[in-house]
Structure 1
């Protein structure tokens, strides 16, 4: 199972582009490498319907053309050199999702076409620069109140993210860092503050495009450039009516000249207000909220959390993956929750951490959280997730 995970990351990153595009997508439009197509066809064979039919047909045609015998060179001319076995060394490398992660053109992998100045269309979403003024930095200092990633103030923007080098969005857990994540409420820019120091700022004024989807969320793609700097978001969002209330999934930022880039996943929103917290804790009764959904780095991991407010305040949760599972629990502090050492399941080695915050409004609540655990016989797991509220236990 673990050996298959790198492809899973690449496959999910590619599908994020395929399904988010509003127009019909063809393999030629994405300039997929032959390796891209082989792996997509393998996924289609294993799970029919998991890859759009048009991409399947285009990839089959592309591979068939690649296998056709080349015409013999004319007399007196040199034969063309054989293609490199490395798909990231070919002419389509710059656009290959597998070579450069979920946004083609963040930086050229092999002298590809440069990213256009306006890489994302905005015809179906009015730009609202005035919303960017609401982008703020209301992040409490790290280790605030026993919260390793800092606390989230009631009513303030709050988010968490993973950070890896390069544009793949995912990497070994040991090479994955955590950060606090900040997002403009119009999706036009973002900032990360890694827990080990430093700061990652997107370009300002990214152009955004929003399309519908069958659940309560919408799809957002945002991208922009400033000189050699490139930034991109591929996310699911919840708005009311135009301001983003909740957002999660892929971020990336890099430099086309140096080929230096960082990327990862995020979960963000506005913490519940103090008035909402007071209502949840009122009346001397325990009010329980339940949340469930897939994590972002590995969405085969399904998380289920219950937050209890009132006289028996606390939380508990479980994370279930086909290869492993664990549980944890702990305390609630305002809009924040954090694990306690004695509440982890027995397969979690000492030093594990779960931290998150309750976000949203009563009709659209969610939790953003991170997990950082060392599991017996598995190794380290680091992930981030945005979990929407589901029907939970009644008030006690």
Structure 2
């Protein structure tokens, strides 16, 4: 944290997480309490992250917020919920009074946040965004306690982005939500061979937002009720066992089944919700043909509330499957930028593999592939030159 002339500033980064046992539906929309527990994999920030700077000053006249360079509504109820909770915890820690040696809780706040990936396209931007907001505010006010409950107030899945590796969000039972928290199941170092490919089909904003979509599902889908009460508890225990044992066959099969059932609940919603596109379904079919050719599960897909595919696989399969995707969805432009993130080696496909797996190519359907792996939770940025706000508390020019 930097402090000068009454100005205090802190910058953090936070990761995206991808659920392999999905959360869909709230039992309390104000506190954001889920109807079922969930489990996710935190992705590495070298490829996908939100960066947020929070600043406070006696000279600021109002709270302000900038998202990806544009001023946004700081009065949004979820932003205000996070601000209110962090300030409440800071006040509680100080015993209810103001310590003249610490940052005044009466100072107005300026916040700037940027994503290095498409926002609102089904890539968990809100999870990374609110986890980052809470982390930066906590640093600003000197808080060190467990903060996943606070992050949950911004976006349910944000509580999972408060930890690295493999993370469970516990449904909890208390009406006040104090036991609806995230817990790390295993650190990012637990499964070193695990890799993730994000196949970006569209960076456009999804047609039905997650908040509206899931509440319609809660109100109209009998399948969702059955899923939350009967299916998920058993799957959660199975998935944690697969992760502990690094059993990719079990992990991959269950991830695909859970993704399929989540999208089935969207179809069971009335009116139905369609997050998957024709290209999404092509990718699903491709994964199954690829696994059938090899005789076991080498790749596993999961889709959140959007068309973009997240593929889990082990490092030894990355080069071959990336080449399969390239053959199936040839890049129409920028072929040298088709694969991003971690390096990917070259692979020569056998004629038998091409004949069995690659059907009629769909040029340009996949915009690019992002290669990443599990990674850590929120990080403090110590370098002042990386602050998104300048000494005047306004966004720096990033030109």
Q: Give the TM-score normalised by the residue count of structure 1.
A: 0.30
Higher-helix-fraction structure: 2
Higher relative contact order (CA 8 A, sep 6+): 2
Higher-strand-fraction structure: 1
Q: Give the TM-score normalised by the residue count of structure 2.
A: 0.30
